[in-house]
Amino acid sequence: MSIVDYAQVLGFAVGSAVAAGLLAALVLRLARRAPLFVHVLVIVAAAVGAVAGGIALTAAGMYINDADTAVALAVTAASGLVSLALAVLLAMGLSRDARGLGRDARRLGAGERVEAARRVTAELDSVQ
C-alpha cells in the first residue's frame, strides 16, 4: 500500500469516529434526562459505530470483489450487534445500582434508615 492508501484508510477511520462521536454527543444532549442505561448504550453504540463505519468505508474502497466486501461487512455487522447486546447485559447492573442509590437517597431524605449496599462500581459503592 502506498502512503496515499494509508492516508485514505486513516481518513475513513478518523471521519467515521468523528461522525459517530458527534452523533452520540447530539443524542446524549437530547436525552440528558434519560436513564443511565440509555447513556451507556449510546456511548457503546458510538464506539461500535465508529469502528464499523471505518471498516465499512475501507472495505468498500479496498476489496477487489463484492463478495469480499460483503463478508467484511457481515462480520462487522455481526460483531457490532453482539457488542451492543453485551453492552445491554453489562449495563443492567450499573443501571440497577444507580436506581438503588436513588431509592436509598429518597428513603434517607424521608428519614428512614438505609443499610449500606455493595454497588457495582467504586464510585457508586463509595456513596454510603
119 Cβ neighbours under 8 A, 6+ residues apart: 97, 100, 101, 125, 127
Residue 21, judged by CB atoms within 10 A of its CB (0-12, 13-18, 19+), counts as middle
Tens of each residue's pLDDT in the chain, 128 residues: 789 888 988 898 999 999 999 999 999 999 999 988 889 999 999 999 999 999 888 887 776 688 888 888 899 889 989 998 998 888 888 888 888 888 888 988 898 888 877 777 777 777 76
In a domain, 49, yes or no: yes
In a domain, 101, yes or no: no
DSSP E strands in the chain: the ranges are none
**pLDDT computed for residue 108 by the predictor:** 83
Q: Total domain count for the chain?
A: 1
In a domain, 114, yes or no: no
Q: List own/partner pairs for 98-107 with CB under 8 A and 24 or more apart.
A: 98/35, 98/36, 98/124, 101/127
In a domain, 108, yes or no: no
Domain that holds residue 40: 3-91
